[in-house]
A and B are shown apart, each in its own frame.
Chain A
């Protein structure tokens, strides 16, 4: 009963968000697009750090490679940006293989540094790619986003300008990707593999003794989250329309914010990133005029959460009210 209620609320929320481009203003669409993309990144990072114990500080590698692959697809090979997004995801997963090969040799905390160095190597290497502007970057050709597949259709159906239609399209893609990431995360964690993953997190030795292979599972999660992060990176830079190595591989934008969102919301819980991204957005709106103060506040909240409430705001909420959403526990089968 409770489960059906949760499901109907979630579906209503999804439909409500999907209607924003039709009913809301363009500024709302653009704001929510950024929120959704941050949510996608946070969901992926939460899966890595919160569930697989892989604390990566190098997720900007996959955002950046996704963005660059999409730009290459559009500029060098003349493909549609939507195809470019898919290529971005694939490029990220391909890049994740050698990075995993290297970083998985490093223990615990040194894994974090390894991923960061790997991201730097990719950034510095792509800055050598002269066809895409080298260190100064390049822009999407004028009108690319307006010629995207589907933009004309939306433009005619909703009677809006073609730039508003392209905003709407990228927004819907972000919403879809966020929903798919959340649902597949839930399904994955409830599955046999997901149970294994949580077993490793809780007690690695015991998990191995019942036949769970930690390296294989963690590698699978690493590759899958790289894919999601790469897709998100490509999508982000369709909206931004200009790519430079420094912006595409920005550790603050694509990793630090994402870490704070997850930590504040509740790392290792599925609703955590959703709560975190709402808090993050609210903070950003209220403190936007104060520049760096906003980052200081964010850092201090993150530290306070780690010191006093490790499961974040969602953890506090669950402990106080007893309400749990997207429960990952399995109920014991009833005895007959």
Chain B
């Protein structure tokens, strides 16, 4: 029974990792941009929520409604004025620019908020749990997984059912031809990064309620997010969810054997999946 419990908790944790990864997956799928600052941008979003909640006395779930448009603007500006300039065949400039950005955001937050651990306080819901048959499941983790599923469902709807989504897919397949059809790839990219930052804000909400955070934890979240994206297969959003769950379950099982092995087990699962399927579980794109 304890194993079932461990796996269920791992799946729920996977929901959080999928939320970390969904924005990354979207951006990579559309513009082949690997954003090494994604983890730090999630932490930045968490601090924005924290500030809003503190300054206006709001519940984090309400504060996120104000933080999301702010982060959309951050993403839009970032893409328009920085990242669009370095997109191209050479993968080095975008990698190095986002790497620089990661260092700048991390140290900027350290400067502004100090290295103290922070937490978003959501009230009694944090400790609430419900019984699912023989095992008890926390309401917050369950809500996290449900949110991940909703976010990925919504992104898929956007991608395959709307005009904007058609522009996303067209630009992803062939930016030049899409341009000839009246789409401005740079605008499309800016909107996509903005949406990715909204998803990052939702991820930040659950990250901040689940555990303490400080300005330096971004890179570790980035690794989990990337593992989820790569395991899932490039360009597949449902694959990203599956990837997040694989990492979450592996970490849960590792921790059940020896608490020191939690993170290691996730990394090893990542390596094993890639050794067997180098392109991930459900690859959509061909690169």
Report A's interface with B, CB cutoff 8 A. 49, 53, 55, 57, 102, 105-110, 112-114, 116-118, 120-121, 124-125, 127-128, 135, 251-252, 256, 259-260, 263, 267, 292-293, 295-296, 298-300, 302-303, 306-307, 310
CB <8 Å contact, B100 and A306: yes
Residue among B111, B219, B260, B267 with max Cβ neighbours from chain A (10 Å): B267
Which of B86, B260, B275 makes the CB contact (< 8 A) with A128? Answer: B260
CB <8 Å contact, B103 and A298: yes
| Residues of A close to B93: CB separation below 8 A | 306, 310
CB <8 Å contact, B275 and A102: yes
| Residues of B close to A117: CB separation below 8 A | 223, 226-227, 267, 270-271
Which of B95, B104, B271 makes the CB contact (< 8 A) with A296? Answer: B104
CB <8 Å contact, A105 and B278: yes
* A105 to B272 Cα, complex, angstroms: 12
CB <8 Å contact, A302 and B100: yes
Q: List residues 262-287 of chain B with CB under 8 A from any CB of chain A.
A: 263-264, 267-268, 270-271, 274-275, 278, 287
Give min CB distance, B261 to chain A, whole Å: 8
* A300 to B82 Cα, complex, angstroms: 12
Q: A49-B92, A102-B275, A299-B107 are in contact. Are A109 and B34 (CB under 8 A)?
A: yes
Residue among B86, B96, B223 with max Cβ neighbours from chain A (10 Å): B96
Which of B101, B102, B111, B230 makes the CB contact (< 8 A) with A292? Answer: B111
Give min CB distance, A136 to chain B, whole Å: 12
CB <8 Å contact, B34 and A113: yes
CB <8 Å contact, B100 and A121: no
CB <8 Å contact, A306 and B97: yes
CB <8 Å contact, B104 and A107: no
12 contacts between A and B (CB under 8 A): A49-B92, A106-B274, A113-B223, A121-B264, A121-B267, A292-B108, A295-B103, A295-B104, A298-B103, A300-B104, A302-B96, A303-B82
| Residues of A close to B62: CB separation below 8 A | none
A124 nearest CB neighbor, chain B only: B264
CB <8 Å contact, B99 and A292: no
CB <8 Å contact, A120 and B103: no
B217 part of interface (Cβ distance < 8 Å)? no
* A273 to B57 Cα, complex, angstroms: 50
B176 part of interface (Cβ distance < 8 Å)? no
User: What 1/0 flags go to B75-117 for Cβ under 8 Å of A?
Assistant: 0000000100110000111111101111110111011000000
Please name 15 further chain A to chain B contacts, defined as beta carbons within 8 Å, in addition to the given A292-B111, A306-B97, A306-B100, sorted by A numbering. A102-B274, A105-B275, A105-B278, A110-B34, A112-B95, A117-B223, A118-B271, A121-B268, A135-B260, A256-B99, A295-B106, A300-B104, A302-B99, A303-B101, A306-B93
* A27 to B102 Cα, complex, angstroms: 33
Q: A102-B271, A263-B96 are in contact. Are A295 and B107 (CB under 8 A)?
A: yes
Give min CB distance, B263 to chain A, whole Å: 6
* A118 to B32 Cα, complex, angstroms: 23
CB <8 Å contact, B91 and A296: no
Q: A102-B271, A116-B223 are in contact. Are A296 and B230 (CB under 8 A)?
A: no
CB <8 Å contact, A113 and B92: no
**Interface bin, chain B:** 35 or more
| Residues of B close to A298: CB separation below 8 A | 103
Which of A55, A108, A110, A121 makes the CB contact (< 8 A) with B230? Answer: A110
Give min CB distance, B93 to chain A, whole Å: 5
CB <8 Å contact, B278 and A124: no
* A109 to B34 Cα, complex, angstroms: 6
CB <8 Å contact, A57 and B85: no
* A29 to B15 Cα, complex, angstroms: 52
CB <8 Å contact, B91 and A108: yes
Q: List residues 235-276 of chain B with CB under 8 A from any CB of chain A.
A: 260, 263-264, 267-268, 270-271, 274-275
| Residues of B close to A127: CB separation below 8 A | 260
| Residues of A close to B271: CB separation below 8 A | 102, 117-118, 121
CB <8 Å contact, B34 and A292: no
* A302 to B36 Cα, complex, angstroms: 14
| Residues of A close to B278: CB separation below 8 A | 105-106
| Residues of A close to B219: CB separation below 8 A | 251
* A246 to B237 Cα, complex, angstroms: 34
| Residues of A close to B34: CB separation below 8 A | 109-110, 112-113
CB <8 Å contact, A109 and B95: yes
CB <8 Å contact, A105 and B99: no
* A114 to B107 Cα, complex, angstroms: 25
Q: A105-B278, A302-B96 are in contact. Are A293 and B91 (CB under 8 A)?
A: no
CB <8 Å contact, B100 and A299: yes
| Residues of A close to B86: CB separation below 8 A | 306-307
A113 nearest CB neighbor, chain B only: B226
* A107 to B285 Cα, complex, angstroms: 13
